[in-house]
Structure 1
Amino acid sequence: MKIKNLIEGLEIEKIHGDLEKDIKGIGYNSRKIDLDYLFVAIEGFESDGHKYIQEAIERGAIALVVEKDIKLDREDITIIRVEDGRDSLARISSNFYGKPSQNMKVIGVTGTNGKTSITYLVKSILDRVNKNTGVIGTMGSVIDGEVLSTENTTPESLWIQRYLYTMLKEGTKHCVMEVSSHSLDLKRVEYCNFDIGVFTNLSRDHLDYHNTVENYFNAKLKLFYMTNKCNIINIDDKYGRRIIEETKNLDISTITYGIEKKSTIYATDIEYHLKGVDFKLNTPKGSIDISFNIPGEFSVYNALAAASVAYCYGIDLKGIKEGLEAVEGIRGRFEIVPTNEDFSVIIDFAHTPDGLEKVLSTIKEFAEGRIVAVFGAGGNRDRTKRPIMGESVGKYADFLIVTSDNPRNEEPMRIIDDVVEGVKKVNNNYIKVVDRKEAIEYAIKNAKPKDIILLAGKGHETYTIIGNEVLPFDERQIVLDFLKEIKN
């Protein structure tokens, strides 16, 4: 594609060089630049892309998009100066891949908790009615059945546009995407044509980045000004009600879902049990009984959100029921490990105070023995939420093992001590075990009949981050291997 076509719609401050050159690829990481590429230099939090311009040129870049005035020895390099590199990357990526979202139905899901589960529930329903659906999110991108790993919940704009283009090429015309607050704030999803926006809930998280809950909310709010067809909102959440009020004058429809407050789509006759939850799904077009395979009130909310998307697309109750009930579980989301023991082990991604409370309160509903919680807090993340997490777990668990969870470049015991400050306010039955593998093994070795052991925080992850190293760490396998070891 010619540079002049790539930069269509950009707010340009200055141009130097030939715009007729053909560009074969785009990059924002100099190490991934190849011959005849355009390099977008972005000033980030940890590094400045402008420092790597020379490397990009040496690797084959023939054009640059920059935020600063630069001087080069070569006159044959086209230089385009812009005010906002991130916005420009999103626009150029969309242009390069032919604006794929304009020819698809893209559903964006945002909120503190539930995003991953809802994306897979929506996919299940749409797939059941022959609407082949792709996914972009925490557990990777699913394109025509193939799973591609991604670094972030919502990838950088270049990757989003590439994935959407690939989906379209493979005949996938629906995509359900987790839309993080970071992605909205950092313009990763700019120039995505969202058909539907879904809001799950909002509780304290990511304040290491957003600083205040209000900033966090305002980042999430952006999605609901980007949609074309429908906004789907959890009306039981106070921030959901704020979104409804903030967007009431938009020329799109709003569908609400909930359990407590009057809503468009709602659940009644709810019965919780260890293997799932049964409820009646009520819509303006009728009601139907659902036997859902993932326990907990939070699962009802996730199912209602997915059902609301299906309702927005005119899918009948039978199709919604079949799609929801076809999901036997979602990796790392209230995942019961098959131990064949007289105690249970559940793995869940819960890593916020609200998420932990939701999972533990669900377990409390059917627990016959002790609840043993193995959990920690991530390093180089919002330190203020750590004691709140500790207090949340301490309210529900009978015994707590406070351990590591991706300590990154922080001292693990310091993180643990932060968490314990909250634990001590409500519960004295805890121990500290820095090594997470040892913590898991301790919980299993000391389990009593009917105990439920919750391994919280890592969920689907099969790695741990210590310092700058990403090391293999699969909790399911650790549990199964240790049980085999103690039996032998």
Structure 2
Amino acid sequence: MKLLKDILYKVHIEAVRGTTDVTIGKIEFDSRKIQLNDAFVAIRGTLSDGHAFIDKAVDQGAIAVICEEFPERIVNGVTYIQVQNTHEALAFTAANYYDNPSDKLKLVGVTGTNGKTTIASLLYQMFKRAGYKVGLLSTVKILVDNNEFKATHTTPDSLTINYYLNEMAEAGCEFCFMEVSSHGIHQKRTEGLHFTGGIFTNLTHDHLDYHKTFAEYRDVKKSFFDNLPKTAFAISNVDDKNGMVMLQNTVAKKVTYAIKSYADYKAQILENQFSGLLLKINNNEVWTKLIGAFNAYNLLAIYATGVELGLESDEVLRLLSELESVSGRFQYFVSPGKITAVVDYAHTPDALENVLKTINDIRTKNEILITVVGCGGDRDKTKRPVMAKIASDLSNKVIFTSDNPRSEDPQVIIDEMEKGVEPQNFKKTLSILDRKQAIKTACQMAQPNDIIVIAGKGHETYQEIKGVRHDFDDMKIVKEFLNQLS
């Protein structure tokens, strides 16, 4: 129970009808969850507008309504608060309701197109190994020290974020590592949070269905760093052409990392094998279990963050050598029949190119590389032919299949992908609509020592078709088929 006036701290209020000197039970932005004496925040979403449900919320017992426009019906005894932006208001009220839990731990946000999950998850793993209590807010899962909860979004809504940050603070966590998506930034979900640091990974083609232009996508990411406080650090990959852009206007401590450029934290790849990476980081060698140049960048960002957060550099190097790969991120196994299967979340052109180039750098070229790939429905359509071109350019054989078609016709998605295949690569490709059948076919095509890459879904254990989620686990399925063939 909180006083309404207390949870409105920092909210940009334009008008009030009623009194803010009332006690509320909890905050909700879903009218179906409203109970007696709750506060309802009317959010304008992409599919529905919460303002249409104000009357329903009041009828269910809401004692306060936070909205951008007052409703026609004003009920006595209910306080109506008009604000500039209800997304922002939700973020501030949620933080205030939970007594600003981000102030009670060191919160580090990771943003960029690729690498967010790996970096956040491995930072959690590293600080746990260093003996700290740690929290994680990621695409894959939410962790409150050792307790695991299911994640539904890359960056959850403001209420969920603050609820779990509060749980972490109460559990005695000293650190929390959090993925920060462009959607989350744009929808103000990270407003009201106090960040100790921010990490920029890279910026490539993604989410243009939402942001419309690459410039807008870039500027939304940049705004995260613009809003960091002076007490924070901003760590940026300056090998990416937008790396310095992220740091242009931040007042936080500017920290750079790179493999190709001059930077505060510099790495060199000495060896890149299926068994791991040998890196030289700031003139110190370290062997790690992760694979590929893209993971060299991830590990360098993790090293920089560990040092900036106060760990000794030698201790960070030792911990890097112990880190295990993240679920669905270049996860691989070798079957009894000597076929290697790699499952990766790569669902952007850059991520897919990184995975396939990594394998091509490692393999001897005597093996056949078979790639199974699809593109998600109801998402950026412009990347479909680009991903198909990359897959067919960098693989010996490619099977185009369904990813999460959602509400779209999966055949239409595949047709749009196929437009990107160059004429010389036509013979390499085939299309199989059913993802399970596509994986089975890849397993049947493979010979000993060949490599199968299954891209796009990674850690996901479902396939979404026409609004329904069906059980589907790429790694589980490919293991079953390959073990049957052995």
CA contact (8 A) 2:121 2:138 kept: no
SS of alignment partner, residue 419 of structure 2? helix
**Counterparts of 2:424 and 2:379 in 1: how far apart (Å)?**
24
**Residue 415 (structure 1) aligned with residue 413 (structure 2):** yes
Alpha-carbon deviation of 1:426?
A: 5.4
CA contact (8 A) 2:335 2:483 kept: no
Name the residue aligned to 1:102.
103
**Counterparts of 1:83 and 1:405 in 2: how far apart (Å)?**
39
Unaligned runs of 5+ in 2: none
Correspondence for 2:347 among 336, 342, 351? 351
> Cα deviation per residue 1:186-221 (whole Å; 9 max; x = unaligned)?
101011111111110001110001111111100100
**Residue 189 (structure 1) aligned with residue 190 (structure 2):** yes
**Residue 329 (structure 1) aligned with residue 340 (structure 2):** no
**Counterparts of 1:79 and 1:305 in 2: how far apart (Å)?**
46
**Counterparts of 1:124 and 1:280 in 2: how far apart (Å)?**
21
CA contact (8 A) 1:28 1:40 kept: yes
**Residue 87 (structure 1) aligned with residue 88 (structure 2):** yes
Name the residue aligned to 1:205.
206
Name the residue aligned to 2:305.
309
Name the residue aligned to 1:361.
357
Name the residue aligned to 2:252.
252
Alpha-carbon deviation of 1:59?
A: 3.4
Name the residue aligned to 1:147.
148
Alpha-carbon deviation of 1:110?
A: 0.5
> Taking structure 1 as the reference length, what is the TM-score of the superposition?
0.95
CA contact (8 A) 1:125 1:322 kept: no
Letter in 1 for 2:24: I
Alpha-carbon deviation of 1:334?
A: 0.4
Alpha-carbon deviation of 1:486?
A: 4.7
Q: Do the aligned partners of residues 137 and 439 (structure 1) sit closer, same or farther apart at CA in structure 2, a change above 3 Å counting?
A: same
> Cα deviation per residue 1:253-308 (whole Å; 9 max; x = unaligned)?
211111111111111252100121111111xxxx4321111110001000000001
Correspondence for 2:338 among 333, 337, 342? 342
Name the residue aligned to 2:264.
264
Name the residue aligned to 2:36.
35
Letter in 2 for 1:235: V
SS of alignment partner, residue 401 of structure 1? strand
> Cα deviation per residue 1:131-184 (whole Å; 9 max; x = unaligned)?
322111111211121221222100111111111111101101211111111111
Correspondence for 1:401 among 381, 399, 402? 399
Identity of aligned residues (%): 37
Say what the alpha-carbon RMSD is for the aligned residues.
1.5
Q: Do the aligned partners of residues 73 and 122 (structure 1) sit closer, same or farther apart at CA in structure 2, a change above 3 Å counting?
A: closer
SS of alignment partner, residue 337 of structure 1? strand
CA contact (8 A) 1:128 1:319 kept: no
> Cα deviation per residue 1:368-397 (whole Å; 9 max; x = unaligned)?
401100001000111111111111111111
Unaligned runs of 5+ in 1: none
Alpha-carbon deviation of 1:125?
A: 2.5
- Show the 5 A alignment for 1:14-53: 14-53=15-54
Q: Do the aligned partners of residues 476 and 269 (structure 1) sit closer, same or farther apart at CA in structure 2, a change above 3 Å counting?
A: closer
Letter in 2 for 1:438: Q
Name the residue aligned to 2:425.
427
SS of alignment partner, residue 309 of structure 1? helix
**Counterparts of 2:253 and 2:79 in 1: how far apart (Å)?**
45
Name the residue aligned to 1:453.
452
Alpha-carbon deviation of 1:65?
A: 0.7
Correspondence for 2:241 among 238, 242, 245? 238
**Counterparts of 1:478 and 1:161 in 2: how far apart (Å)?**
37
Name the residue aligned to 1:159.
160
Q: Do the aligned partners of residues 123 and 409 (structure 1) sit closer, same or farther apart at CA in structure 2, a change above 3 Å counting?
A: same
CA contact (8 A) 1:124 1:326 kept: no
Name the residue aligned to 1:388.
386
**Counterparts of 2:339 and 2:479 in 1: how far apart (Å)?**
13
> Taking structure 2 as the reference length, what is the TM-score of the superposition?
0.96
Name the residue aligned to 1:300.
296
Name the residue aligned to 2:462.
463
**Counterparts of 1:190 and 1:351 in 2: how far apart (Å)?**
28
CA contact (8 A) 1:374 1:440 kept: yes
Give the length in aligned residue pairs. 480
CA contact (8 A) 1:124 1:324 kept: no
> Cα deviation per residue 1:219-251 (whole Å; 9 max; x = unaligned)?
10011122232110101110102223x23xx44
**Counterparts of 1:425 and 1:299 in 2: how far apart (Å)?**
33
Letter in 2 for 1:448: Q
CA contact (8 A) 2:106 2:195 kept: yes
**Counterparts of 2:472 and 2:27 in 1: how far apart (Å)?**
34
**Counterparts of 1:68 and 1:118 in 2: how far apart (Å)?**
41
